[in-house]
Structure 1
Amino acid sequence: MRILATLSLIALTLVAAGAATAADSDLRQLATGDDVRAFRAVGRLEIAGQGFCTATLIDTRLVLTAAHCVTDEAGGAVASDVLVFRAGLRDGRADAERGARRVVISRAYRPGALGTEALAADIALIELDRPIDPHIVAPIPAGAMSGVRIGVVSYAHDRAERPSLQQECRLLAREAGALVMTCDVDFGSSGAPVLRFDGAVPQVVSVVSAKAEADGRKVSVGADIAHVLPALRAELTSSNGVFWRSADSGARPETGAKFVRP
């Protein structure tokens, strides 16, 4: 996960001024089979056995995560054969485990670039080497952001063996496709699904990209997937390679924010 040292909300369009005073729910570990049943599609994405992010099965063979999880420090895409997705991982056991066949990264993504516009493109789609039986792990479908009430399921460095659910957090603002939220995230939560719960089944509406501080409060920043995911699906359908867009060689926009990776 990357950290924005500071993030000014002044330039953002606030979504709900009255929502700032509402209470968020606490993180709750999904420790049992019953706890995790609706969220087995959320898993740990392991990268070359050296680190991990959070990722979500959105179709029987497609996994959604953050682009910076699958790019190296030089800005290139990691090889698909170093990725392992472990769906519903709890205490060393996963409901399903698959390798990756192909990776597609948003063409607008700029590794290392700063600002909300860059975070809005921090999305990657992974095609697994084999599909996962939906009777074993039901995918969580992608949807569009609606309202300000959301939740998140994630792993993190201090809760790497079990996912945790925050049933309720809030959308504070949006800018250029990036969402500023109150959701509780930490290192390892990159790529975690931001969910809406107002329908018959949960839907993924965003993936976590960074955490920040804004006006003295901790916030998280995610990419709104609604406008990016269709293009990623189309890239995957029409091609057989790995795609990403490298950072521009020119100067980066000055934002006053600092990014680090775990």
Structure 2
Amino acid sequence: MIQFLFSILCLLTVATAASAQSAKRTLNDRDDLYGWEAVGRLDIGQDGFCTGTLIAQDLVLTAAHCALNRASGSPYEPGEVTFRAGLSDGKALAERKVVQIAVHPDYARHPNLSAEAVRVDVALMKLEQPIPYSVADPFALHSGRVAGNEVSIASYGRGRSEAITRERSCRILQRRQGLITFNCDITFGSSGSALLARNGPRWQILSVVSAVGTDGRQKVGFGMELSGIVAELKSALRRDAPQPKAAIRRLQVGSGKSSSGAKFISPGGG
């Protein structure tokens, strides 16, 4: 099974054949975007873009390979990545700079595309300021079985970078050994987007899009089981959060008043 996965994953850069997927829809206006505002485009310096999804007002879930500078192999510096929630035709419902990034620690140990790398291809990005619930309602994480193996995806991608494209219904092909394979129509730029499964009336995040290959007949997407990974990344963000600088207040002798000294600098300089 694992060797078969390797052979597919190695085809990442050459899998260009289009899949005959149904029910794709571009979300161009405010009515279309309703319920999908938490999906956004991650503009990454000069390196292009990925897709990310809010899981809290100030936390974006995406792929680890979208969070690392290609030249240095280190997470992007504060301000180099911008999350543009609900971007449509050049206008976003909210824009926030990313000020902190946590990447799964095992990802760097697997530099080559492999099943081991896909299993940990997950990152969290903390925003400079929360996005209000009235603008975008974050997605919850899914756990357990998926009824009927039906999933959905909403992402940006090559040739569809200016608005979310939502594929209403695609299917899980296999879910085994920490990997999830699916037949959703993904392309470059779809990396980091959420694979969504229903829980009652709500869609919840089951996995993150990591890679694409082919089984010889159709394009196949790869993601990972998220159980435990997101909680670990949240802990890393809390542990490594930059400490705010202390405010300094200069007292005026005899006046009982104070004047500002150094300004309070919030984490990330926001």
TM-score scaled by length of structure 2: 0.78
Q: Which residue of 1 is the match for residue 116 of structure 2? A: 117
Q: Structure 2: how far apart are the matches of 1:158 and 1:176? A: 33
Q: Which residue of 2 is the match for residue 34 of structure 1? A: 31
Structure 1 residue ranges without an equivalent (≥5): 9-22, 242-262
1:135 aligns to 2:134 (yes or no): yes
Q: Which residue of 2 is the match for residue 234 of structure 1? A: 235
- Say which structure, 1 or 2, has more relative contact order (CA 8 Å, 6+ apart): 1
Deviations 1:10-65, CA, capped at 9 Å, x for gaps: xxxxxxxxxxxxx9533211112111111010000000144100000110110000
Deviations 1:143-202, CA, capped at 9 Å, x for gaps: 225221111001001000010111111111134322111111001000011111232321
Question: Is the contact between residue 46 and residue 83 of structure 1 (CA under 8 Å) also seen in structure 2?
Answer: yes
Question: Is the contact between residue 48 and residue 83 of structure 1 (CA under 8 Å) also seen in structure 2?
Answer: yes
Question: Is the contact between residue 205 and residue 226 of structure 1 (CA under 8 Å) also seen in structure 2?
Answer: no
Q: Which residue of 1 is the match for residue 68 of structure 2? A: 71
TM-score scaled by length of structure 1: 0.80
Q: Structure 2: how far apart are the matches of 1:117 and 1:183? A: 21
Q: Which amino acid aligns with 1:125?
A: L
Q: Structure 2: how far apart are the matches of 1:163 and 1:137? A: 14
Question: Is the contact between residue 195 and residue 204 of structure 1 (CA under 8 Å) also seen in structure 2?
Answer: yes
1:144 aligns to 2:154 (yes or no): no
Q: Which amino acid aligns with 1:76?
A: S
Q: Structure 2: how far apart are the matches of 1:53 and 1:145? A: 27
Q: Which residue of 2 is the match for residue 100 of structure 1? A: 98
Q: Which residue of 2 is the match for residue 195 of structure 1? A: 196
Identity between Structure 1 and Structure 2 (%) = 36
Which secondary structure does the structure 2 equivalent of 1:183 belong to? coil
CA RMSD of superposed structures (Å): 1.9
- Mean alpha-carbon deviation: is it higher for 152-161 or for 142-151? 142-151
User: In the comparison of the two structures, how many residue pairs are matched?
Assistant: 224
Q: Structure 2: how far apart are the matches of 1:49 and 1:30? A: 26
1:81 to 79, 88, 93: 79
Change (3 A) 1:72 1:145: farther
1:91 aligns to 2:93 (yes or no): no
Structure 2 residue ranges without an equivalent (≥5): 10-19, 243-270
Q: Which has the larger radius of gyration?
A: 2
1:156 aligns to 2:157 (yes or no): yes
Deviations 1:95-125, CA, capped at 9 Å, x for gaps: 1100011100011213532321210100000
Question: Is the contact between residue 151 and residue 195 of structure 1 (CA under 8 Å) also seen in structure 2?
Answer: yes
Question: Is the contact between residue 21 and residue 185 of structure 2 (CA under 8 Å) also seen in structure 1?
Answer: no
1:61 aligns to 2:58 (yes or no): yes
Question: Is the contact between residue 154 and residue 167 of structure 2 (CA under 8 Å) also seen in structure 1?
Answer: yes
